[in-house]
Structure formats: C-alpha cells, structure tokens
Chain A
Amino acid sequence: MTSAVIALGLVAIVIVAAVTLGVVAARANLNSPTDFVVGGRALGSVLLWLLLAGEIYTSFTFLGAAGYAYGLGAPAFYILCYGPVAYIIGYFLTPKIRSVGAAFGMITQPDIFRARYGSSALAGLAALVGFFFLIPYITLQLTGLQLLLSIAGYGLVEPYVAVAVAVALITGFVWATGLRGTAWASVLKDTLVLAAAIFAGVALPLHAAGGWSAMLRAVSASHPGWLTLAPGASPHGVAWFVTSVLVSAAASSCGRLQRRRFSARRAAMRCGAMRYCCPCIVFSSCSCSSRDLPRC
C-alpha cells in the first residue's frame, strides 16, 4: 500500500511538472494553426533535437526493447541499427520537407500530397492511411502505458481506469498546449528517460552479475549463440535482421515523424483551418519547424 502510494505519488509529481512546463512554455503564442501544430515553424535546434529525441524514447524503450533483448538476445540489436540509418535519410530529406512546407504553408502530411499532386482525394487518402495505420501503434503504446501504471500502482489502480485517465490527460495536454508544449514536456521526459536508462544500464548489470563484462560473459556461457544472429533465413536470423533494419529505417525516416499520432490528431481537430484529421502532423511539424537544420 505505502509503496504504491509512493510510486504513484512520484508519477503524479512528474505529470504535474511536465504539464506545468508545457503550459508555461506554450502560453505565449497559440494564435494560428501554424503556431499550434508546427510551433510557428520556429523551434530552435535544441528544442527540435529534444522533440525528435522524444520521438524515439517511448514506453517501447523500456518495455518492448528490454523484453525483446531478454526474450531473443542479439535480434534486439536491430533497434540500435535502424535509428542511425533513419537519421542519415532524415538528414537529407528533412531540410527539403521543411523548406517546401514553409514555402507552401503546409502543416500536415496530406498537405504535401495535395500540393504536389493537386488532388484533395489523394490527400484525404493519405490522411486515412496515416490514421488507420497508427491505430496499432497507439494500441502498443497504451498497452505499455497500462503495464507501467499497473506496476507503479502495485495493482492498486485498475489498469483500464489508469489508461483512461492517462489518455484524457495526454489529449487535454496537447489540446491546450500544441506542439511547443509537447516539445517542452519532452525536455523533462527525455532527461528522466535518459537518467533512468543510464541507471538501469549501469546498476542492473552491476547488481545482477557484477558488471557489464561479467554479465555478457555469463550470458554467453549460459546461452551460447545468444549474442550473435542465427544464420541465413532462420527465424530472427541474419536475413530477418537486415530486412527489419531496412524496413524500420525507411518507415522511421518518413513515418516515425508521424509518431505523436494521438495527440496530434486532437490538435488537428481543434484547428478549424485544418481540413484533415491527420495523425501525421508531427511528420511535418518536426520537419517544418526545423528552422536551424542544415540546408542541402
């Protein structure tokens, strides 16, 4: 009971701090859809960097990736690989999207389709595809959230209640603060996630095995072959690995940018000027607000 109260109290403190940060940061300028959705296209390098970093640190970082490594071993290394590959593509692609977005006043991904192909039907289709294919992603994230909350609450809180409250909070927060608020909340979140990741990465091996080397040696002694990939086309083998990295990198460099789906969709609804309830706003938001990215 007391542990649950302490853990949930900490969760509440973090939420209150993040919301306060976001509200204070966003309060100044939310006058137009552009301000709301793409931060007035004026996010500086540091804030943009944090926003993009926030895109990769999700509940998957702690639950999915860790569980994958625990359950499968070396195949989990693909998570390390696809990020850099996606960023290499993004390095060349993002500034172009940013300048086109600014030139034509685009704020969502379907805007790009409409402007480029002159077809509102195609833009609508892009919005629909983006919307439906983000549903599994939202489900995944909410499942992670539900797990985290029920563990933090030591079973004190009904998981469905916890997740409903969280969804209401997230939606309300984005509704009230737009992209800039989300970016500032990322400042707090990323700091905490990094601190937790470093702590877990150092403390757990020390605690469990006496250090990184000892842990890796113990793993390869107890599970031979666990730290390398199975050959060829075997399940989770080399062929699976390479194709997974390629697909994930391609999807991330175009699609990752659509991540804040949920929130973003609501943001779109609020902005009357936006024609499509596009869950892909962050795609253009990241790119369009990247004032300081190098030009190609």
Chain B
Amino acid sequence: MSRAKRLAVIGLAAMPALALTLAVPLANRMEPTVGGAPFLLLWIVGWVVATPICLFGISKLERRA
C-alpha cells in the first residue's frame, strides 16, 4: 500500500474515532438545534452514520491496494 493510501486509511479510521471520543467536549452544546435536537445529539448521530461510510472507504482503498 502506498504511503498516501496508508495515510488515507489512518485518517478515515481516526476521524470518527476521535469525533466520538476526544472531540465530544467541543460538541457539547445545545445550539444550533435542528428540529429541537441539541447539537451534541446531532454531532453524535451524524458520526454514528458516518462511521460505516468511513469503514467502507477504507475497505475500498485496501481492496485496490
């Protein structure tokens, strides 16, 4: 696997993992809300949905490598 691809894989794996752990304090607020849902909930649900997409991207990259 090329260096660029390896970095892309690490990035795609690290992004949702960091977003749902260390970055949570930064997202811990009420505003902006969408349909009454606090930003914290939107952030978390958004990343829950994004995680399989990131993993799918990784599997594509690895398959081509």
B-side binding surface: helix, strand, loop or mixed? helix
Contacts of B59 in A (CB 8 A): 294
CB proximity to B under 8 Å, residues A72-98: 74, 77, 80-85, 87-88, 91-92
Q: B24 contacts A80, CB within 8 Å? A: no
Q: B20 contacts A245, CB within 8 Å? A: yes
Which of B16, B36, B47 makes the CB contact (< 8 A) with A216?
B36
Q: B24 contacts A242, CB within 8 Å? A: yes
CB proximity to A under 8 Å, residues B18-61: 20-22, 24-25, 28-30, 33, 35-38, 40-41, 44-45, 47-48, 51-52, 54-55, 58-59
A19 and B29 CA atoms in complex are apart in Å by: 47
Chain B contact residue count (CB 8 A cutoff): 30
Binds B, one of A124-132, A162-170, A207-215: A207-215
CB-based nearest A residue for B45: A80
A-side binding surface: helix, strand, loop or mixed? helix
Contacts of B28 in A (CB 8 A): 228-229, 231, 238
Residue of B21, B25, B63 with highest tally of chain A CB at under 10 A: B21
Q: A191 at interface (Cβ–Cβ under 8 A)?
A: no
A217 and B37 CA atoms in complex are apart in Å by: 8
A213 and B36 CA atoms in complex are apart in Å by: 5
Closest chain-B Cβ to A201's Cβ sits at a distance in Å of 12
A74 and B30 CA atoms in complex are apart in Å by: 11
Q: B24 contacts A213, CB within 8 Å? A: no
B residues in contact (CB < 8 Å) with A: 13, 16-17, 20-22, 24-25, 28-30, 33, 35-38, 40-41, 44-45, 47-48, 51-52, 54-55, 58-59, 62-63
Q: Could you jot down 6 A-B contacts, CB within 8 Å? A: A80-B44, A81-B48, A91-B55, A216-B36, A227-B41, A245-B20
